[in-house]
Amino acid sequence: MSTNPVRVMLLTCSTRPGALGPAVAEWFGRTVAPDAARLGVELVPVSLADLALPLLDEEEHPSSGVYREAHTRRWSALVDAVDGFVVVTPEYNFGMPATLKNALDYLGREWAWKPIGFVSYGNTSAGTRSVQHAKQVVTTLRLVPAGATVALRIGDAVEDGRVRPDARWDGAAPRVLHEVARLAQALRPLREAAADGADEGPVPGSYVRRLTPRDAAEVVVLQRCCWVEEALANDTLALAPLHETLGDVRRWLSDWDVTGLWRDGRLLGMVRTRREGTEAHVGRLAVAPDVRGAGVGRWLLRRAQAGLAPRYERVVLSTGARSERNLRLYESEGFARQGDAVDGVVRLGKPVPPPSAVLAS
């Protein structure tokens, strides 16, 4: 499971002047703040009243992702940037407010594989019928409702326009946040696999995307797993991947173009490239031990080379002089040794092949 922070939108739905929604949202945010800090959750308050979305006015279907109106693009960016939602909603006539239904209808892919929790308020049913109505819609959008909820009966919970302190709902609010945060982490692989730019990988169920400094923790784990074997083969512990800190990894993730292969939230493999003059340097080719032998390393190496021509003249890489598995792979891919080993390290290189040759090999 990823260690990245979780961003949760706290969405206030009622747009009626004088509505209770803002007070309920303020109470929820204040009540869960200590838990949010402990869990690494960033709450992002958003009010539909502030957004002022008109009734759906886009010409194209939301599934197209083609948005012509500025208000739609703004709403899309807000939803796209978070990992989950806590919706503060009243109940109007046994259902959710039209503002919430309209906001949901505006978008498509931005909702997929994100959790949604509910804080409802009302009179007789404490807003629970609004939540049941909303669940029919959100599941169609591939949102995942949390089981934990907060339901406030206005007569019991509200005094002078504010939510009064009470152990029942003060204890229920953090449970909603906890469940939304856990679901957001668990669903992250599905969101990433469905995201724009995420290509299918060579292992069933895997996908590939560019790594960023946010992935440093997973990179540290993979490196230390893989380079222990290199240390044993070369009889040395003086290998940088075994000693780099999270800060070290974050820095080079900013400087290199790094491709990561993922499955179910786990980093299975990676490779990095960087330009140095007319040469493309390839390095840190790593594959988790349990998926070796399936062509993952070769696939990552070829992917790293696929976009190099015509910008570079040569591609070079290095490995330990006793890393026989690595040397066999590189030489079978056309790399030739460039001189003798220096300090136990062999440098290999070859002319950059045209993209068609890499993809066809």
- Give residue 74's pLDDT band: very low, low, confident or very high (50, 70, 90): very high
Q: Percentage of residues in the chain with pLDDT exceeding 70?
A: 97
Q: What percent of the chain has pLDDT over 90?
A: 82
Specify the higher pLDDT residue, 260 or 306: 260
Q: Which residue has the higher pLDDT, 227 or 199?
A: 227
Cα–Cα distance for residue pair 37/40, rounded to 1 Å: 5
Q: Compute the half-sphere exposure of residue 13: CA atoms within 13 Å on the CB side of its CA.
A: 26
**Residue 131 in this model has a pLDDT that exceeds 70:** yes
Of the listed ranges 86-95, 294-303, 349-358, the least confidently predicted one is 349-358
Mean pLDDT computed over every residue of the chain: 92
Give the least confident one: 182-191, 278-287, 330-339, 350-359: 350-359
Arithmetic mean of pLDDT, 116-138: 96
All structural domains of the chain: 6-187 (3.40.50.360), 200-360 (3.40.630.30)
What is the spatial distance between Cα 347 and Cα 318, in angstroms, rounded to a whole number? Answer: 4
pLDDT of residue 205: 87
Q: What is the pLDDT of residues 221-271, one digit of tens each?
A: 999 999 999 999 999 999 999 999 999 999 999 999 999 999 988 999 999
**What is the distance between the alpha carbons of residues 261 and 296, in angstroms, rounded to a whole number?**
9
Whether residue 312 has pLDDT greater than 60: yes
- Per-residue pLDDT, 213: 94
Asked if pLDDT for residue 332 goes beyond 60, the answer is yes
CB-based contacts of 79, cutoff 8 Å, min separation 6: 9, 107, 110, 111
Over residues 4-52, the pLDDT tens digits come to 789 999 999 999 999 999 999 999 999 999 999 999 999 999 999 999 9
**DSSP H or E stretch at residue 124:** none
Query: What one-character DSSP code corresponds to residue 297?
Result: H
Complete DSSP assignment for 54-101: PS---SS-GGG----SHHHHHHHHHHHT-SEEEEEEE-BTTB--HHHH
The residue with tokens 């995942």 is: 144
At residue 313, does pLDDT exceed 90?
no
In this prediction, residues 89-106 reach a mean pLDDT of 96
The yes-or-no verdict on residue 309 having pLDDT over 80 is no
At residue 197, the pLDDT reads 62
**145-190 pLDDT tens trace:** 999 999 999 999 999 989 999 999 999 999 999 999 999 999 998 8
**DSSP assignments along 146-195, one per residue:** EEEEEEEEHHHHEETTEEPP-HHHHHHHHHHHHHHHHHHHHHHHHHHHHS
Q: How far apart are CA 310 and CA 305, in angstroms?
A: 11
Q: Say if residue 353's pLDDT is above 80.
A: no
pLDDT grade for 1, boundaries at 50, 70 and 90: very low
Mean predicted confidence (pLDDT) in 92-120: 97
